[in-house]
């Protein structure tokens, strides 16, 4: 027998429950009584009954705590039939307080922000049952949100309702479970109760209550901060006060190293600017907002704000703002656009030495480096250093030194490290933590580019720790350093998932992209969709097209969607050619992925007796791109790093596989394995798998088994599921004895006979099966004859049917 919501029971029902609990002894009856403790105020009639029943020896009390966020996610998935977005789960958890009924109503509501009508009625009935003075106090509290400091509520209530007995109403509100104490604040028992009360207020009534808060907060700033004042002033509406308070809140957030909050307040201020008389010039606020957006990893928004600042500035102030805009463009890998802005800035500044000119030169040089215009870049860097040193601009000097290090890194890594160390000292001397983090990132990148993965990992870890210590973990450079740490970990074979910090705006930051490499290697089921969701952001940041496009293509190939993989690579290359150079080095990686997909498709064509000529022809443009890029003349002192050399070797080997593995293919795969041997563990194992396959085709079964075993051990240790599965499949088809390789699964058919019959079920001919299993068509015919005899059937189709019914081969 179940009795729900016993807190609503009348006196007679409560007496019946007392009687049943006291009298039930030997009867086969289970009595389940539920009630909500949130509704039990001090004088609630159910409270003494619940206490009396709980003391009975046959009663077991079970506490059901509110849902956690994870439990809300599970509940939502069960309710809707699919996984619900994290931001929805977070919102529902916060608004419902973990109450299952509230959560269900919110999830089923057509409007995710509005309070469902049925739920509003329940909450409204709840508040209408309490004392009118408590209702009035609740209305004052509701406009402040779910929580409000007690001194602020007391003061605002006295201003809004002078006749209200505030002390008595507060005691009654807590006693009747309308409000409770939470972390030193008064809080509604449910966030939705505050929403329901606020929604019932008339517009004039709501404005009046907000004005009461503005009055008390302005009279005594100690009661609350500028952010709280700005919120109430905006709703009052008192726009001059809202503007002033928003700017003060932004300044406070800046001092606390909270760029996301700083940006939010500055965006509010900018929206109010034109509505407030005599607000002054908005250029400084636009510039501050752009910097906050950049620090908050909102790169695209930073460019928009910085461009607005340039457009709003007068002639004298425009040049330094162009330089700032260029730096924000560089954060999006838009070097050509950045170069155009600094060219204009340098023309506007003229030749007179100044800190502004030093910064413009340093920023100009960085774009030239990225565009491989090293000769020009070197001259500009030297001028930037001279100007910076003449005018004492240590921060600009540090930036220029960073570009100089990039120019010499591939030819003299030790000298580059010395220059970067000098730049780091200059940044620390002026307390420029942002530049310090960027230099540490460049130092890690420098070591990575020359194949020093241990050094790169150490420097990235130093940067991540420095960002944490200075509160800049979730800023652009903090996240980029975390991304470099994750990249190095992936290359070294650590495929452990990395937690990406949640942000209000998903800008496809560097860390968000880097985790896709390991997700692809682990074979995560949603990685293709994750990459596809980032495609609309390609135009924002070329790195998104590069990494998400490449990983998406790789993941598609692992899933056998070869044509989609190649088509995606084509689109990525076409997109990047417009922003970068025609023969950009990342194109080697992308082309290798496309060649691998084409080789897999061609291999399937050959097994099924189809002509792979179209695949081979399509692969020529990728093979040509690899060779032309690898042989592209580089500026003096620059050379291709070990990763570029490794992908070139891999691309050549994949091209040979596409051609049908002609003589010499084994040596190409050996070269790929050796090239990735500098520390790129995952790709070394993947190349070793293909080397084993090539050895098997050449007839060297013993070495093929050794290479396959090494590749499998690494793949399993890393958790690279698709790779490990592929290696086991190779061993099964090639009959290589490996740890974990499948053996005979039945006393009726041998392992080879079962393999042959599975391929018969797919409609393959004897010759096609032979090519798939590295045996002759005649040998396949012998296996088929043995299968027919063992199963006592007369034909191939009947054999497949019998084997399926007896569970000897996989289900159809």
Contacts of 703 (CB under 8 A, 6+ apart): 695
Q: Which of 436-445, 708-717, 755-764, 777-786 has the lowest mean pLDDT?
A: 777-786
Return the minimum-mean-pLDDT range out of 189-203, 594-608, 609-623. 189-203
d(CA 337, CA 303): 11
Phi, psi of 451 (to 5 degrees): 85, 10
> Residue 88 in contact with residue 69, Cβ under 8 Å?
no
What percent of the chain has pLDDT above 90?
51
pLDDT of residue 114: 67
**What is the reported pLDDT for 636?**
67
CA distances from 44 to 7, 127, 181, 391 (A): 8, 15, 20, 76
**What would the mean pLDDT of 294-320 be, rounded to a whole number?**
92
**In the numeric block, which tokens belong to residue 730?**
């190779």
Burial status of residue 721 (CB atoms within 10 A of its CB: 0-12, 13-18, 19 or more) = middle
Which among 714, 707, 646 is positioned nearest to 493, based on CA atoms? 714
Percent of the chain scoring above 70 in pLDDT: 95
Q: Is the pLDDT of residue 805 over 70?
A: no
The CATH number of 321-330+337-526 is 1.25.40.10
Strand partners, 33: 3
Place of tokens 């090639």: 734
Confidence at 245, pLDDT banded by 50, 70, 90: very high
Mean pLDDT of 727-749: 70
Please give the angle made by the CA atoms of 712, 715 and 719, to the nearest 5 degrees: 140
The mean per-residue pLDDT over the stretch 331-348 comes to 93
Tokens 């910090």 — which residue? 501
Average pLDDT over the chain, rounded to an integer = 88
Bridge partners (DSSP) listed for residue 3 = 33
Query: By the 8 A CB rule, do 488 and 456 touch?
Result: yes
Q: What is the mean pLDDT of residues 424-440?
A: 88
Query: What is the rounded distance in angstroms from the CA atom of residue 26 to the CA atom of residue 340?
Result: 90
Query: Taking the CA of residue 480 as centre, how many other CA atoms within 13 Å lie in the half-sphere pointing to its CB?
Result: 24
Q: Are 321-330+337-526 and 533-734 the same fold in CATH?
A: yes
Position 463 pLDDT exceeds 90: yes
Question: Look-up: residue for tokens 């008389």?
Answer: 277
Nearest to 647 by CA among 694, 587, 693, 721: 587
pLDDT at residue number 745: 38
312 three-class SS: helix
CB of 175 within 8 A of CB of 41? yes
Mean pLDDT calculated for residue range 452-459:
94
457 confidence band (pLDDT: 50, 70, 90) = very high
**Residues contacting residue 738 through CB under 8 Å, at least 6 positions apart:** 705, 708, 709, 712, 727, 728, 731
**Which CATH homologous superfamily contains domain 533-734?**
Tetratricopeptide repeat domain (1.25.40.10)
* Weakest mean pLDDT among 132-146, 392-406, 451-465, 772-786: 772-786
- The backbone region for 743, taken as left when phi is positive above 0, alpha when psi lies in -120 to 50, beta otherwise, is beta
Measured between alpha carbons, how far is 790 from 803 in angstroms, rounded to an integer?
11
For the segment 662-687, the average pLDDT, to the nearest whole number, is 97
Q: How many CB atoms lie within 10 A of CB 248?
A: 18
Residue 727 in contact with residue 760, Cβ under 8 Å? no
What distance in Å separates the CA atoms of residue 478 and residue 13, rounded to the nearest whole number? 62
- Dist. CA 511–CA 242, nearest whole Å: 36
- Whole-number pLDDT of residue 807: 66
Write down the CATH number for the domain with range 751-805.
1.10.10.10
**DSSP notation for 250-292:** HHHHHHTT-HHHHHHHHHHHHHHGGGSTT---SHHHHHHHHHH
CB 323 within 8 A of CB 360: yes
User: What is the three-class DSSP state of 188?
Assistant: strand
The distance from CA 42 to its chain's CA centroid, rounded to whole angstroms, is 47
Confidence class for position 192, pLDDT limits 50, 70, 90: confident
**88-97, 370-379, 797-806: which has the highest mean pLDDT?**
370-379
**Better-predicted residue by pLDDT, 339 or 294:** 339
The pLDDT of residue 289 is: 96
What number is the average pLDDT over the span 235-256? Answer: 93
pLDDT band at 595 (very low <50, low <70, confident <90, very high): very high
pLDDT for 14 beyond 90: no
pLDDT number for residue 130: 84
* Per-residue pLDDT reduced to its tens digit, 198-216: 888 999 999 999 999 999 9
Q: Which H helix or E strand runs over 579?
A: helix 562-579
Task: Name the residue among 659, 656, 660, 351 with its Cα closest to residue 670.
Answer: 656
Q: Which of 450, 383, 391, 446 is nearest to 419 (CA)?
A: 446
pLDDT at 722: 93
Rounded to whole angstroms, the Cα distance separating 288 from 617 reads 54
Q: Which residues contact 784 (CB under 8 A, 6 or more apart)?
A: 756, 757, 760, 766, 796, 799
| pLDDT for residue 744 is more than 80 | no
Residue 505, helix vs strand vs coil: coil
pTM: 0.68
Q: How far does Cα 576 stand from its chain's mean position?
A: 22
Listed in sequence order, the DSSP H helices in 719-776 are 721-734, 751-761, 766-773
Query: Domain-by-domain residue ranges, the chain?
Result: 2-54, 85-275, 321-330+337-526, 533-734, 751-805
In degrees rounded to 5, what are phi and psi of residue 154? Answer: -60, -50
Q: Of residues 250 and 777, which shows the higher confidence score?
A: 250
> Residue 785: which residues within 8 A CB-CB, separation 6 or more?
none
Measured CA to CA, the distance from residue 482 to residue 468 in angstroms comes to 10
- Quickly state the pLDDT bin for 450 (edges 50, 70, 90): confident
Phi first, then psi: what are they for 719, rounded to 5°? 85, 25
Is the pLDDT at 442 greater than 70, yes or no?
yes
């Amino acid at each position: 027998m179940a009795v729900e919501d016993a807190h609503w029971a009348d006196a007679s029902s409560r007496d019946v429950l007392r009687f049943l609990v006291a009298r039930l002894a030997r009867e086969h009856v289970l009595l389940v009584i539920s009630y909500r403790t949130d509704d039990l105020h001090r004088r609630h009639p159910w409270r003494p009954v619940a206490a009396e029943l709980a003391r009975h020896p046959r009663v077991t009390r079970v506490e059901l705590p509110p849902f956690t966020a994870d439990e809300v996610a599970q509940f939502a998935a069960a309710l809707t039939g699919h996984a619900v977005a994290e931001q929805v789960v977070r919102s529902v958890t916060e608004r419902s307080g973990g109450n299952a009924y509230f959560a269900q109503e919110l999830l089923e509501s057509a409007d995710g922000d509005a309070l469902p009508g049925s739920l509003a009625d329940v909450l409204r009935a709840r508040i209408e049952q309490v004392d009118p003075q408590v209702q009035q106090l609740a209305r004052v509290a509701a406009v402040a949100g779910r929580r409000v400091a007690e001194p602020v509520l007391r003061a605002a209530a006295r201003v809004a309702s002078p006749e209200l007995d505030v002390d008595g109403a507060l005691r009654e509100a807590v006693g009747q479970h309308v409000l409770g104490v939470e972390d030193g604040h008064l809080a509604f028992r449910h966030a939705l109760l505050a929403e329901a009360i606020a929604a019932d207020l008339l517009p004039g009534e709501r404005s009046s209550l907000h004005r009461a808060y503005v009055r008390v907060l302005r009279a005594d700033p100690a009661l609350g901060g500028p952010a709280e004042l700005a919120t109430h002033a905006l709703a009052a509406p008192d726009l001059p006060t809202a503007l002033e308070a928003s700017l003060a809140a932004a300044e406070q957030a800046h001092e606390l190293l909270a760029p996301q909050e700083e940006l939010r307040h500055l965006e509010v201020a900018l929206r109010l600017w034109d509505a407030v008389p005599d607000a002054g010039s908005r250029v400084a606020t636009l510039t501050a907002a752009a910097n906050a957006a950049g620090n908050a990893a909102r790169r695209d928004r930073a460019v928009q704000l910085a461009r607005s600042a340039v457009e709003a500035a007068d002639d004298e102030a425009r040049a330094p703002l162009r330089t700032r805009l260029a730096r924000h463009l560089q954060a999006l890998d838009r070097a050509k656009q950045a170069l155009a802005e600094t060219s204009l800035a340098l023309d506007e500044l003229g030749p007179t030495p100044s800190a502004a000119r030093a910064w413009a030169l340093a920023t100009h040089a960085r774009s030239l480096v990225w565009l491989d215009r090293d000769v020009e870049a070197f001259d500009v860097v030297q001028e930037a250093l001279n100007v910076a040193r003449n005018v004492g601009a240590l921060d600009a000097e540090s930036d220029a030194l960073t570009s100089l290090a990039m120019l010499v890194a591939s030819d003299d890594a030790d000298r580059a490290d010395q220059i970067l160390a000098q730049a780091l000292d200059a940044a620390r001397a002026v307390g420029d933590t942002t530049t310090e983090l960027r230099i540490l990132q460049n130092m890690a990148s420098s070591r990575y580019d020359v194949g020093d993965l241990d050094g790169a990992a150490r420097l990235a870890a130093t940067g991540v720790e420095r960002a944490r210590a200075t509160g800049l973990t979730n800023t652009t450079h903090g996240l980029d350093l975390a991304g470099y740490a994750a990249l190095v970990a992936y290359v070294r074979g650590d495929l452990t998932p990395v937690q990406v910090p949640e942000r209000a705006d998903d800008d496809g930051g560097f860390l968000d992209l880097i985790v896709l490499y390991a997700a692809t290697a682990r074979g995560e089921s949603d990685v293709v969709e994750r990459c596809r969701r980032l495609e609309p952001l390609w135009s924002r940041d070329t790195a998104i097209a590069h990494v998400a496009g490449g990983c998406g293509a790789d993941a598609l190939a692992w899933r056998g969607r070869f044509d989609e993989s190649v088509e995606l690579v084509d689109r990525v290359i076409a997109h990047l050619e417009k922003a970068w150079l025609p023969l950009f080095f990342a194109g080697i990686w992308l082309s290798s992925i496309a060649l691998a997909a084409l080789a897999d498709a061609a291999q399937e064509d050959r097994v099924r007796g189809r002509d792979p000529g179209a695949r081979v022809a399509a692969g020529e443009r990728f093979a040509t791109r690899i060779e032309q890029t690898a042989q592209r003349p580089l500026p003096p002192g620059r050379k291709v790093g070990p990763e570029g050399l490794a992908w070139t070797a891999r691309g050549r080997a994949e091209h040979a596989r596409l051609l049908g593995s002609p003589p010499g293919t084994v040596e190409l795969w050996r070269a790929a394995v050796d090239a990735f041997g500098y520390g790129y563990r995952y790709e070394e194992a993947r190349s070793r798998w293909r080397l084993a396959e090539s050895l098997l085709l050449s007839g060297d079964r013993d070495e093929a088994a050794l290479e396959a075993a090494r590749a499998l051990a690494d793949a399993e240790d890393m958790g690279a599921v698709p790779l490990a599965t592929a290696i086991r499949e190779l061993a099964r088809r090639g009959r290589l004895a490996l740890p974990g390789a499948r053996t005979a699964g039945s006393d009726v058919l041998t392992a080879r006979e079962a393999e042959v019959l599975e391929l018969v079920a797919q409609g393959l001919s004897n010759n096609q099966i032979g090519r798939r299993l590295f045996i002759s068509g005649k040998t396949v015919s012998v296996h088929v004859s043995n299968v027919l005899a063992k199963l006592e059937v007369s034909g191939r189709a009947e054999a497949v049917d019998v084997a399926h019914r007896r569970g000897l081969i996989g289900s159809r």
